[in-house]
Structure formats: structure tokens, C-alpha cells
Structure 1
Amino acid sequence: MPLIDDFATWKPLLRLLRAGNAERLAGSGGHVAGQIGAYGWSIPQERGFPPPGRSVRAEDMQDEFNAVKRVQRALAGTGADSISFTAEIEPTGKSVLHLLSPSPAAEPGIGNPYPGSLILVEGSVPEPWRRLPDPVPDAMPAPSADPALLERTLRTRIPDAVGATEEEIAAAEARLGVDLPDELKVLYRVTRSRWEDWGDDYEAPARVSRAVGCELFSLDDLYIADASSRPCPWRFGAMAAVATPPDAPVQGLVGSPGWIVFGDSGGGDRIAVDLTPGPRGHAGQIIIIDHEQYIGAELLADSLTDLVLNRRNEWHGDPHQDQPVAHVNIRSLRSIQAAAHPGLEVLSIGWWEDEPLSLAPITGLPRLRTLTAYPGTLADPLEIAKLTGLEFLELGPEEWRVLLDAGAVPRSLSAAAIKVHGSPHPLPIVAIANEVLALWDRPLITRTVLEGHLDPVP
């Protein structure tokens, strides 16, 4: 088994990277960097095109596969999921390899060797993941909800189904910690949707799906789609916001203790009964939770009876309207003043070609919790110290340097990130990340230095 801190483990990969990155390695500060994970990798390696008329074959990348596989085998021996690296390689073959082991307080970068979000407060999550549903004490079932009609319809469509006993339904309720609504109980009294009940009847699941209008989960697989069921990297979650307009049928939440998932759309989107509806919704309505979104769900049917009888296949509603998120850049808002309003929670400053911007217009906003700023866009980074409610901050390396040197990093932060433009050397970025982590006494990103030699360039 190769060892991750043995230069020989990395030698085949370094040879490959040297051959494909001569210009990148030449001169002062020349380096190559990448990331190797248990199931994938990101390295600066250009791959040639196959001959005309032929597709790419595995053997076209065999050297890369072999070199990476050797590192992955060594990585498996450490128990880590990934490792980042940077290397300086001289024409003589003298090489210095820096291995950057992830910190439990730093999310991994996405396809790059730089650290992702720095988790400054252990166990913290962005504000939308802490948001609970608004109370709905007056919510009533829809007029279309008809448990008796639902049962008659389902028994006609799937007459031979094996239903759940009252004891099995009670056990599911105890596991979930919530009483199942009447329509959902009726559904599982007709069919508990267990594979062992179907035996060799391989068409049974399809019949059940057609009868119900979705891919039905077994009674044992029901689960609550609360916020923890939709995990999200901090830097993405911090950019989201919860908003529920007064005419919304569904609350614009990450998740809810009242969303009971009982099926799938067939494409990965979850189908749930909603016991915490929006202002214009009904208790027990059917919603669909988009697997490509972190926030919200959309109304699918007014009730389970409505879903089964009317076969709804269109979503309606927009959980993302009126979000308190503002983007200032060359394509969106053109000033901080235009973004500033009392309900602003998230401000993102992107690519900017004019004079750097002052943050004065957003000072004192009561709900501002996230600020991200592209490198070089701020006139005075020290203005950030006046934003006392920030829980997430993403800045370029130079802006972080200003805050660190002045002792002005906001102590209200729960997480932070370093915005990297281009492909700078990873070591200065990691050094800044470690300075930020140290302010909260969080585990640091560790660096191991290996030295060795490759064959000289002919």
C-alpha cells in the first residue's frame, strides 16, 4: 500500500504534470496544484483529442488514471476523503511537494486546491437552515380531501395490494414523531408498498405508481423533510433566503417538521404531504421538493385525493419570488444604494469595472447577515467592521489581509470564505485561512512538505 506522505507515491503524477505544464512551472513562483478525492480529481492536465473519427478511449488517459489511482490508494489508507497539493518542479528535477490535509473546520474546495468555507462556529448552519415554519393554527384540509373516496379509488385500482396494519401505522408515527394525516393513513392501509409483498410480480411497483400518481415509498421509508434533509455547503446556503409571500400556498422553507415525504417524482424530486402550509395553502396538501434547489417546495395538488384522482403533473407557485437578496455587478444593480433596504439579508458584490464601492449605505441594516465581495471591489474593507450582524463573509485575499492586520474581523461570524480569482499559489490562501480559523481556535489546515527529484528535463 503506498503512503500518502511518501514522495514516491506522487512521482508518477508529478512527472505527468511537469510534462503538461512547462510554462506554468517556469519562472519565479511557478507551480502546479490540484485536488485528489476518493472518487474524483481535479488537476491542471490538458488532454489531447483522439484521431478524427474516433471517440476518446480509456487508454488515451491511462497514464493519468494510473498516477491518480496510486494517490487514491494511499489516500484511502488515511481515512480522509480528499487532499489538495501544490508542487514546484525545477528543470533539474528538484521538486518540493506541499500536501494540504483538510481541516474538519474547512469545507473542501469544489474542484480546486483552495479551502472552501471555514466553519468558525462548530455545528453552525446558515440562517435559512435554522428557520422553522410559521404557525398555521387555522389551516384546514382542502375541500377535495375525501378519505373514503380515496380508499375506494385505490382499492379499485390495486385490488390485490397488501395494506398496513394499525400497529404498523402506529409504529411509523412513533418513528417519525408525528401523527399521519387521515389521507396518508388510508393510502397505507390499502398498500404498505413493501417489495416482499410483491414477490415475483415485477409489474406491481409500476401499478402502484400509476394508481397513486408517484413512485410510492414503503411505509418504512417515510421520512420528515426538515432542514437537515437538505444539506448545503455554507457558502451556498449563506446566499439563500427564506421568503413566503402572503398569497403563497407553500412556505418558502428549506424544510419543515410538517413535510412528510412519501414518494418520488421518478426524477429525484420528493413528493410530500404538507402539514405546515403557506397563507393560501391547505393542511395535508401535496408538495414537490425539487432536488436541484436548496430552498422551497411547490404545490402539486390540494390533497392526496386530488393527486390520485386528477393526476396533476404541473407545478405551480414560485417559492423564490421577493427574496431579500441583492447582487451588485456590471449586469445587475449598479450601486450599493440601490441594494440597500431594511429587509436586505444577503449582498453579493461581483465583477465591477468602476471605482471601488463604499459599504456605508448598508451600515445599520437590521437583517444583513451575508456579504460577499469580489476582490478589489471595496473602497475600504475596514467598513466591514461596522456591519455587526454578519454571520458569513467572503472576501478576496487582500481584503482579508486588511481585516486581519487591523484586528477587525467581525466576531459575529459563524463561517467565512476566501474568494480566489485566477490560479494564485495556494499556500498564501491557506495561510490566510488558518489565521481566520485561529481567531476562533478552530482546527487548522495542515501542510506536509515532501522533497524529491524527478529525472531532469532532457
Structure 2
Amino acid sequence: MPSIDEVATWEPLLRLLRHDNAERLAAPGGYVAGKIGRGGWSVPVARAAFPLGRAALVSDMQTEWDAVGRVRSVLEESDVNEVSFMLETPEPGKALLHLFDPGPAVESGLGTRLGALVLVEGAVPEPWRRLPDPAPDAAPAPTADAALLERTLRERLPSAIGATEEELTATEERLGVALPEELKALYRVTRARWEDLGGDYGAATDMARAVGCELFPPDEVYVADAASRPAPWEHAAMDAVETRPDAAVQGLVGSPGWIVFGDNGGGDRIAVDLTPGPCGHLGQIIIMSHEENCGAALVADSLTDMVLDRRAEVKRDEEECGAPREKQPPAVAWVNRSGIPSVAAAAHPGLEALSIGVWEHEPLSLEPLVGLPRLRTLTAYPGTLADPLEIARLDGLEFLELAPEEWRVLLDSGAVPRGLSAAAIEVQGERNPLPVIELANEILALWDRPPITRTVIEADLGPVA
């Protein structure tokens, strides 16, 4: 099999790109760009319309499928996740293919965009470093009853095969945490192994109904700490963690006390919570949405309640939990033409992340942000800042996203905040990737991080058919 930097790997796709983008490539400075990964691709080729009323088929895009498939096969064989590229045709029949390797310091971006630059190896946003608040007074719910739970499940699943004590002990040793009694009672009834069900989907459905979720076998139970819930810097930097005094569940990314034992069938994880919020119970059942980076929702006050289909009592006595505090300004704020009307209106001591978006008035000053103790994230659309050099006065920034022009001002003035852990380049619309990559490498060099590398392949494609 050819390597990723050989013409043979790319030739069918190059011909297709040239055919479908002839006018664009022929223009002065013309180029097309794309990305191909083992899990998908984004390439600028034309696709024929398929009949309404049915899904798209491979046959509707067979030429593209085959051309991209050749590249993806090489990626798979080379154990490479993805490759970005840019194609130029400097003269008829000739092609210059630029291949970009982002290296270990650059995250994967959406489409052909460059992802965040990780300036400190292994760095994660502040919410991913947050540990749960201690809850020394937390106690199990009065409804927690391991014996009742076990009797109920044995009645519902009389032929189920339970886990042995050795299997439960092995799970505890692997996790480094003792399993709650209710969870052990559940697994003593059924260990939820597919082979125990004889490959019977009906039996699996019956088990899910009996338990209240799609149950994982003991060797697939895991601790949902923050590392188990990764997110790209560009999104994660705009998240914030908050736990209200009347919350049953702590608003965390993850916790060493969240023991995941099942799924709701749609990708949302079900866990026992051993680090509850101020108004929660030890061993309560929570659900973590696969569409959210932070937090979890209360399902039931105990595993017994979940199995018996008793919903959680979300509203509790104020004397038990404490009255809710007064509403606070948001820790994450968006200033734009339809959101918060000014930087001053968004600024307050608890502000952690500020995004300046589409703006139709005079560029904004960052003066109101100076001295804010918790501000760690700033993102700004092109042309929205009155003076990018004001950024140098914002102590504590760990993530900064700016347009190339604003980054140029900071670089030329030696004013890039050196406390950053990650950065991103905001590119609007079509833009030649070469200057953006050069800019990214300048930023990476300030932290002595591995640069984005480029390989250029020359191909003779002959005349256009």
C-alpha cells in the first residue's frame, strides 16, 4: 500500500477536485482545502442530487467515496487519525498538494478549521481540574434498601446469572473504590453479560426494563471522573462549574465518586453518585448527558427507587438544604448584537469566560475586565476589539481566541499573555490555510511546542478530460 505522501494515494481525489473546482483553481491564488479522517471527511466536491423521499446512498457519490476511501485506507494502515490538505494547480496539468500534520500540540478542528493550540502539554480547562466539594454529612436516602432491591430483581429476573464475590472484588480493585451495597446487590442478581443471555435481544430488553437502564457488566463499570468526559478546548473553555446551595447534584464535569453502571439506551450514562450536592443523598442515581460537557441530573434518590420506578424528590425541605441563594450574574457571558450589550454589562467579579461575537457598533474596550479575579477565557470576533494590546492587562487568562489580525498585533508587540494554556485562531469565511498555519507556528514557538509540519507533493495530472 502506498504511503500518505505518495501521488498514488491521492491521484483519484486530485482529479476529482480539479474537475469540480476548475474555475476556482484557475483563478489567481486559487486553491481548495479539505480534511480526511478515519471517521469522516470534508472535501469540496460536487454531489449529485438524490431522489427525494429516501436517504443518500453510497452509489449517489461513488466516485467521491472511492477516491476518499483510498486515502482513508492509507490512514488506517498507517495508524494516522486524519490529514488536512490544500490543492493548488499552478499551471495546466500540474498540481501542488500540501499535506499538514498538526502534531501533538494542535487539536482537531471542525471541518477544515485548525483546532486549538495546546500550549502546555496535558493542560485542560479549569472546569476539568475541579474536584467535588466534600460532603461529610451526606447520608443515603431513607429509601435505599439493598435487600428489597435484590428480592425485587430476583422476582423479575429469576433465571439471571449473578456476579460472584470474586468478580465484585475485582471490580472494586480495578476502580479503586468500594461499590455501594445497593450496586453490589444488583450485580449479585445479574452480571449483565451478553453471553449469559445467549445472544437473545428479547432477554436483554427484559433485563433493561427490570433494572431501569441498559446495565453494564461489572468489568465495564467505570469511574466518570473529568478525564472520562473530554472536550475540545474551544468548547470546554467556555464552560463553567457551579453548584448551588440547594443542588442535589454537584455541577461538575466528572467526579471520582460517579460510578457509571449503565446507559439509557441513547448514550447518556447512569451512575451512582458518592459525592452528592448539598441537597443530595449518598448513593443517589444521576444521569450524564452525552450532549453536555458539565453536570448531571438527578434520576432517583437511591438505586432501590430507580428499580422500583420511584422518581426523585427534586424539591426538598429548605431547612434540610438551605434556601437558594440570590440569582448571580452569569459566569459565562456572550457580548454580541443580540446578547449582552457591552463588555461593562458583562463584567463582574464572578465572570470566568467572555465571548465577543458579531458586533455592529464601535469596537469594544476591554478596560472593564481588568482586575477581574476569575476571568480565564476570552474569545473575540475579528475587528471587535478597540485595542488588542489591552489583553496584556488581563491577568489569569488561560485561553485566548482571536482573529489573525489581532494575534499579529500581540505577536509584533511581544504582548501575547504567557500564562495561556491554550489558544485558538478565529478564521471567518474562506481563507488560505498557509498564513494561518504560519501564524499558529509562531504562537506554538513561544512555548517551544511542536510545530505544524507541511509536506508538498507535486503531481502531473495531464490535461483536463
Q: TM-score range by the shorter chain?
A: over 0.9
Query: Does the alignment pair 1:387 with 2:394?
Result: yes
For the Cα contact (< 8 Å) 1:24–1:31, is it kept in 2? Answer: yes
Secondary structure of the structure 1 residue equivalent to 2:3: coil
Letter of the 2:29 partner, please give it: G
Bigger shift: 92-101 or 405-414?
92-101
Secondary structure of the structure 2 residue equivalent to 1:402: helix
Query: Does the alignment pair 1:94 with 2:101?
Result: no
Aligned to 2:42: 42
- Unaligned 5+ segments in structure 2 are 317-327
Offset at 1:63? 2.0
For residues 209 and 459 of structure 2, the distance between their equivalents in structure 1, rounded to whole angstroms, comes to 64
For the Cα contact (< 8 Å) 1:91–1:456, is it kept in 2? Answer: no
Offset at 1:91? 5.5
> Where does 1:277-288 land on structure 2 (aligned, <5 Å)?
277-288=276-287
1:429 to 404, 427, 436: 436
For residues 356 and 159 of structure 2, the distance between their equivalents in structure 1, rounded to whole angstroms, comes to 60
For residues 322 and 182 of structure 1, the distance between their equivalents in structure 2, rounded to whole angstroms, comes to 41
Offset at 1:53? 8.5
Secondary structure of the structure 1 residue equivalent to 2:24: helix
For residues 397 and 219 of structure 2, the distance between their equivalents in structure 1, rounded to whole angstroms, comes to 42
For the Cα contact (< 8 Å) 2:212–2:309, is it kept in 1? Answer: no
For the Cα contact (< 8 Å) 2:329–2:348, is it kept in 1? Answer: no
Aligned to 2:347: 340
Offset at 1:181? 1.5
Aligned to 1:242: 241
Letter of the 1:232 partner, please give it: A
Offset at 1:109? 1.9
- Unaligned 5+ segments in structure 1 are none
Q: 1:73/1:207 Cα in 2 relative to 1: closer, same or farther (>3 Å)?
A: closer
For the Cα contact (< 8 Å) 1:150–1:186, is it kept in 2? Answer: yes
Query: Does the alignment pair 1:355 with 2:354?
Result: no
For the Cα contact (< 8 Å) 1:324–1:343, is it kept in 2? Answer: yes
Secondary structure of the structure 2 residue equivalent to 1:107: strand
Offset at 1:216? 1.4
For the Cα contact (< 8 Å) 1:300–1:316, is it kept in 2? Answer: no
Query: Does the alignment pair 1:371 with 2:378?
Result: yes
Aligned to 2:423: 416
Secondary structure of the structure 1 residue equivalent to 2:115: coil
> Where does 1:220-259 land on structure 2 (aligned, <5 Å)?
220-259=219-258
Letter of the 1:47 partner, please give it: R
Q: 1:4/1:203 Cα in 2 relative to 1: closer, same or farther (>3 Å)?
A: closer
Residues 185-223 of structure 1 deviation map (CA, whole Å, 9 limit, x = unaligned): 221222222334344765433332222111111222211
Offset at 1:387? 1.0
Letter of the 1:385 partner, please give it: A
Bigger shift: 258-267 or 206-215?
206-215
Root-mean-square deviation (CA, aligned residues, Å) is: 2.3
1:442 to 425, 446, 449: 449
Aligned to 2:414: 407
For residues 333 and 45 of structure 1, the distance between their equivalents in structure 2, rounded to whole angstroms, comes to 40
Aligned to 1:67: 67
Letter of the 1:439 partner, please give it: L
For the Cα contact (< 8 Å) 1:340–1:362, is it kept in 2? Answer: yes
> Where does 1:285-296 land on structure 2 (aligned, <5 Å)?
285-296=284-295
Aligned to 2:302: 303
For residues 449 and 163 of structure 1, the distance between their equivalents in structure 2, rounded to whole angstroms, comes to 59
Offset at 1:46? 2.5
Q: 1:54/1:298 Cα in 2 relative to 1: closer, same or farther (>3 Å)?
A: closer
Letter of the 2:70 partner, please give it: R
Secondary structure of the structure 2 residue equivalent to 1:98: strand
Letter of the 2:67 partner, please give it: A
Q: 1:213/1:73 Cα in 2 relative to 1: closer, same or farther (>3 Å)?
A: closer
Secondary structure of the structure 2 residue equivalent to 1:23: helix
Aligned to 2:20: 20
Aligned to 1:136: 135
Aligned to 1:157: 156
Letter of the 2:210 partner, please give it: A
For residues 200 and 95 of structure 1, the distance between their equivalents in structure 2, rounded to whole angstroms, comes to 53
The TM-score, its normalising length taken from structure 1, stands at 0.93
Q: Share of identical aligned residues, percent?
A: 67
Letter of the 1:251 partner, please give it: Q
Q: 1:51/1:91 Cα in 2 relative to 1: closer, same or farther (>3 Å)?
A: farther
For residues 187 and 54 of structure 1, the distance between their equivalents in structure 2, rounded to whole angstroms, comes to 44
Q: 1:54/1:124 Cα in 2 relative to 1: closer, same or farther (>3 Å)?
A: closer
Aligned length, in residue pairs = 454
